[in-house]
Amino acid sequence: MTATSALESTLDATALQEQLGLADKIVDAKSLENSVRRFAEQKIVLPTFGELAEPHRIPASRTAGIDKNAADPRNLFRVHWYNNLDGDKVEVPDHVVLPSSITGIESPIIVVFGDRFPMITAHKVLAAYSCFVPRVITGQFDPTRHRAVWPSTGNYARGGIAISTLMGSR
């Protein structure tokens, strides 16, 4: 048995949804309706993953005048690597390059700063957003009746709490 066939034998067609919670269709239409209503009431707009991957597509007006640390849903549009310390967009993520004269290895090492993200100054808001949004938009999570649980004692939990807050959820 090859590694591929072993993997295929342990996963069935519903594995993504039933085992991993990653549905590719609407699971609960009522929950999705509740989410849409909640987001409309609270003026919450979700950035697409494409916008977060390419934040130059996000108009500057989305976050203009908003404190990067405020619990304002417009800060969802800052959940990407292309922020400076003030929360403004930059062309290249803030970073330093460690030369071989410091590291002792031939290849330079690039260190990207994870403290440029909104609210908690940690990159875990992006991880939390990427896990939470698919569940909301498929109706697996209803912000009007469910509570988000973030199983961590560190930055992932802080990121989850921040994202839940920005998305009008508990």
Q: How confident is the model at residue 22 (pLDDT cuts 50, 70, 90)?
A: confident
Q: Give yes or no for residue 8 having a pLDDT over 60.
A: no
C-alpha–C-alpha distance, residues 103 and 109, integer Å: 8
Label residue 95 exposed, middle or buried (CB < 10 Å: 0-12, 13-18, 19+).
Answer: exposed
Question: Is 60 exceeded by the pLDDT of residue 6?
Answer: no
Task: Render pLDDT for 82-123 as a digit per residue (tens, 0 to 9).
Answer: 999 999 999 999 999 999 999 999 999 999 999 999 999 999
For residue 154, the model assigns a pLDDT of 84
Cβ–Cβ under 8 Å, residues 112 and 93? yes
Domain-by-domain residue ranges, the chain? 13-87+115-167
- Please write the tens of the pLDDT for every residue from 119-152: 999 999 999 999 999 999 999 999 999 999 998 7
